[in-house]
């Protein structure tokens, strides 16, 4: 008996056989999920391949001779030629790219000329500082920007809406390095409310055992509250600066999403039923923007990861942005390309995570 055959039961109409259709439905569901996972994996693979190709081209078109950076300007022609062949630069360009791709996939970015260490070890050391800074900045942007955007949309045209628009406009137009310098001058130089440049004061530098690489968390794990207060006083100003730019973007997008939802028919119906405005705004409209808001927050976090270069330079923050900048000025292309690949990969993975959460949380995407 096939899955589509029907059986008769006394006193009943046509019924499917016991368990009928279940294997076929499961197979169809499995095939559908496999195609979806395969499509996501293919998209991720092509995106990462494009990222590697772009970074490889950047390394080749930069007006920097990587051989001279290794052997020095006083090297003989024989030494130069030997290093040129050892680095594989005499091979066809496609073979160089395949070799580069294989090394990157193994986590091998070569050795940094500036530090003398493996680039992978350097990135493992500096990336947690940028991650901690961007994470705190994103949290500030979310906890301030989302309520600001919701209230601005609910009271469109009011004074809160006007403030939200000014905040977003200033956040988009003000140079971040200027705000950083002014913040240091006011809050550190004149008022003394925050710590100065750097991640920690000299007294606490190196005193907290590194577990996660993020000083706030490591100081909590070590139970060293003095180090925690010192680290917090150093991170709060640059994190607030990044958080301001994050909340400018998040509040603007939240306001836009909410205005669209508040003009929908279901909101009008809810108001006609006599529901309070608070319940209409937060219980109905906000719930429907929660899913696309996740994508906005993920993109904002990725932007802070890749866009914190100027902030790290102004505040002497030992993160990946400062690491890439110093490497670029020194002509250390292994470090520059390694940092670029890492930040680009994080951005791609954040997009993938937001897409997965969108599919999981939004019933319409299932």
- pLDDT tens digits for range 233-292: 999 999 999 999 888 889 989 999 999 888 888 888 888 888 888 888 888 888 888 888
Let me know: does 181 contact 314? Beta carbons within 8 Å: yes
In a domain, residue 231? The reply is yes
Q: What's the average model confidence in pLDDT over 315-340?
A: 86
- Looking at the fold, whether 133 and 71 belong to one and the same domain comes out as no
The residue with greater pLDDT, 33 or 311, is 311
Q: Which two tokens stand for residue 184?
A: 């240091």
pLDDT of residue 4: 43
Say how far apart CA 149 and CA 256 lie, in whole Å.
8
Does 13 score more than 70 pLDDT?
no
Q: Are residues 224 and 334 in the same domain?
A: yes
| 92 shares a domain with 188 | no
Phi, psi of 15 (to 5 degrees): -125, 150
The string of pLDDT tens digits covering residues 142-185 is 999 999 999 998 888 888 888 888 888 887 778 888 888 888 88
Has residue 229 been placed in a domain?
Answer: yes
pLDDT surpasses 50 at 84: yes
Task: Look at residue 8 and tell me whether its pLDDT is greater than 60.
Answer: no
The answer to whether residue 240 is domain-embedded is yes
Percent of the chain surpassing pLDDT 70: 88
Nearest Cα neighbor of 308 from 252, 232, 239, 248 is 239
If one counts every other C-beta atom within 10 angstroms of the C-beta of residue 312, the result is 25
Q: Establish if 17 belongs to a structural domain.
A: no
The answer as to whether 112 is a domain residue is: no
Considering its fold, how many domains does the chain have in total? 2
What's the rounded Cα separation, in Å, for the pair 173 and 64? 34
Same domain, 310 and 184: yes
Q: What is the pLDDT of residue 19?
A: 45
Residue 14 is assigned to a structural domain of this protein: no
Domain membership flag for residue 21: no
> Residues 295-301: what's their mean pLDDT?
88
Whether 24 maps to a domain, the answer reads no
Is the whole-model pTM more than 0.85? no
Residues 135 and 253 reside in one and the same domain: yes
Confidence of residue 131 (pLDDT cuts 50, 70, 90): very high
Q: Are residues 268 and 161 in the same domain?
A: yes
What is the C-alpha separation between 273 and 267, in angstroms, rounded? Answer: 10
Q: Is 244 exposed, middle or buried (0-12, 13-18, 19+ CB in 10 A)?
A: buried
Q: Cβ distance 56 to 99 under 8 Å? A: no
Task: Reduce the DSSP state of residue 8 to 3 states and report it.
Answer: strand
199 and 343 assigned to the same domain: yes
d(CA 50, CA 57): 11
Q: In which band, very low, low, confident or very high, does the pLDDT at 362 lie, cut at 50, 70 and 90?
A: low
CB atoms within 10 A of CB 245: 23
> Count of alpha carbons within 13 Å of 236, Cβ hemisphere only?
12
Mean pLDDT lowest among 35-44, 97-106, 236-245: 35-44
Q: What is the CATH number of the domain that holds 152?
A: 1.10.3720.10
Same domain, 209 and 175: yes
Question: 7: which strand partners?
Answer: 15
Which of 38, 73, 105 is the last residue before a domain boundary? 105
Q: Which of 49-53, 115-119, 233-237 has the highest mean pLDDT?
A: 233-237
Instruction: Judge if 139 and 229 occupy the same domain.
Output: yes
Say if residue 137 is in the same domain as residue 83.
Answer: no
Rounded-to-integer distance, Cα 229 and Cα 252, Å = 33
- The tokens for 53 are 């190709």
Alpha-carbon distance 268 to 361, whole Å? 25
Together in a domain, 193 and 290: yes
pLDDT of residue 351: 81
Out of 82, 105, 128, a domain closes at 105
For 64, the domain range is: 29-105
Q: Are 92 and 195 members of one domain?
A: no
Of the residues 76, 105, 134, which one is the last residue of a structural domain?
A: 105
């Amino acid at each position: 008996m096939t899955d589509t055959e029907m059986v008769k039961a006394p006193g009943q109409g046509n019924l499917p056989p016991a368990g009928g259709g279940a294997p076929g439905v499961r197979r169809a569901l499995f095939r559908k999920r496999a195609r979806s996972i395969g499509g996501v994996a293919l998209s991720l693979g092509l995106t990462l391949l494009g990222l590697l190709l772009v970074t490889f081209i950047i390394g080749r078109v930069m007006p920097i001779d990587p051989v001279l950076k290794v052997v020095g300007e006083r090297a003989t022609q024989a030494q130069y030629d030997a290093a040129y062949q050892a680095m594989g630069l005499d091979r066809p360009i496609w073979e160089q790219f395949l070799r580069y791709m294989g090394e990157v996939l193994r986590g091998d970015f070569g050795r940094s000329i500036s530090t003398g260490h493996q680039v992978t070890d350097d990135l493992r050391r500096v990336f947690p500082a940028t991650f901690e800074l961007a994470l705190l900045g994103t949290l500030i942007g979310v906890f301030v920007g989302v309520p600001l955007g919701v209230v601005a949309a609910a009271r469109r045209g009011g004074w809160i809406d006007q403030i939200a628009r000014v905040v977003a406009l200033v956040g988009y137009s003000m140079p971040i390095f200027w705000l950083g310098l002014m913040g240091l001058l006011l809050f550190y130089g004149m008022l003394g409310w925050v710590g100065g440049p750097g991640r920690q004061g000299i007294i606490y530098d190196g005193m907290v055992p590194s577990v996660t690489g993020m000083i706030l968390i490591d100081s909590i794990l070590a139970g060293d509250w003095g180090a925690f207060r010192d680290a917090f006083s150093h991170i709060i100003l640059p994190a607030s600066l990044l958080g301001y730019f994050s909340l400018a973007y998040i509040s603007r997008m939240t306001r836009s999403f909410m205005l669209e939802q508040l003009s929908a028919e279901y909101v009008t119906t809810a108001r006609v039923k006599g529901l309070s405005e608070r319940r209409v705004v937060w219980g109905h409209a906000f719930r429907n923007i929660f899913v696309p808001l996740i994508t906005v927050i993920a993109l904002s976090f990725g932007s802070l990861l890749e866009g914190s270069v100027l902030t790290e330079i102004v505040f002497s923050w030992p993160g990946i942005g400062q690491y890439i900048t110093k490497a670029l000025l020194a002509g250390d292309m292994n470090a520059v390309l390694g940092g670029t690949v890492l930040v680009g990969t994080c951005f791609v993975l954040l997009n993938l995570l937001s897409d997965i959460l969108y599919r999981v949380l939004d019933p319409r995407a299932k």
